[in-house]
Amino acid sequence: MEAFAEHLAVERGRSPHTVRAYVGDVRDLLAAARSRGGGDPADVDLALLRAWLSGEARAVPDAVAGARGPRAAPGPAARATTARRAASARAFTAWLARTGAAGADAGVRLRAPRLSGALPGVLAAGAVAQVLAAAEEAAEEGGPVALRDAAALELLYATGVRVGELVGLDVDDVDRSRWTVRVMGKGAKERVVPFGAPADAALGRWLGRGRPALAGPRSGSALLLGARGGRLDQRAVRGVVERISGKVVSRHVTPHTLRHSAATHLLDGGADLRSVQELLGHASLATTQLYTHVSVERLRSSYHQAHPRA
């Protein structure tokens, strides 16, 4: 597992979060293999992989099975989770074959269910403006944490970055003279993303008054800091978004909601797909094209409301 984790991190450039998820999946897969009598990674074959993905082959701890009797296998995982588990298994079996631990790549024919392509709900531009206004109002009345919260929300919407990318930003990644931020995305791919005047103003207040008040020995070069001076974590950002948005909108809002909203509003405003792809850090244009469905639905709704022959 240590060697596989190193392969993922060093050779394939996967993020620490992805490495943890893949290693966890593979541990579960190997436990399922052991429960079927397999004692070696080479015993992982296509039949086992398919049974494992479908939920038919799951390891049951002996203590649990002995105390309570056989446990029913859980139902099929959500499509997104199943797709990730399939990707974990394929990465592992390919690595086994390449390193000689297995004779052939058992996962090369493994297929995962197609993702539905459904996107989380998108906030209207007016609703996003209300959320950001609420954050700004709190920053005017509050202390350094409120200044940080306002800067975080402005950056999430202005740049469309993922929450993991946001908390990974360092002070030197922000170029306020050019209104750009350098982002390290998935697969250790770097991109430069612009932001606008409101985000720049929020950053200026945070860097000028907020960050110096929280900075300490644990701060390092982190752009956004927690209340104790360490780098802000993803869970805290999610809490900030939910708390502030909950004051002004009725629906549940997450950092990813702001990312999807930013992409949709860009397309609604006339931005081309390639530019939005670059801004979001999508490896494939097909991923970015999902947002066109949202825009088309809005166009259709407006057409039916406004056209006399609709």
Q: Determine the average pLDDT of the residues in 287-294.
A: 64
The residue among 56, 55, 33, 54 whose CA lies nearest residue 106 is 33
Flag whether pLDDT at 291 surpasses 70: no
Which of 90, 205, 259, 260 is an active site residue?
259
Active-site annotation holds for 162: yes
Q: Determine the average pLDDT of the residues in 219-224.
A: 95
Which of 162, 205, 231, 260 is an active site residue?
162
**Which residues have a Cβ under 8 Å from the Cβ of 21 and sit 6 or more positions away?**
84, 88
Q: Residue 66: its pLDDT value, please?
A: 37
Per-residue pLDDT of 29-38, as tens digits, reads 998 888 888 7
Q: Mapping DSSP to helix (H, G, I), strand (E, B) and coil, where does residue 44 land?
A: coil
pTM of the model: 0.68
Q: One-letter amino acid identity for 274?
A: R
Q: Determine the average pLDDT of the residues in 127-153.
A: 94
Active-site annotation holds for 259: yes
Mean pLDDT of the chain: 82
Q: Determine the average pLDDT of the residues in 188-214.
A: 92
Are the beta carbons of 152 and 159 closer than 8 angstroms?
no
Q: List the beta strands (DSSP E) in the chain.
A: 174-175, 180-184, 190-194
Which of 22, 211, 231, 291 is an active site residue?
291
Task: Measure the CA–CA gap between 301 and 295, rounded to whole angstroms.
Answer: 10
Active-site annotation holds for 307: no
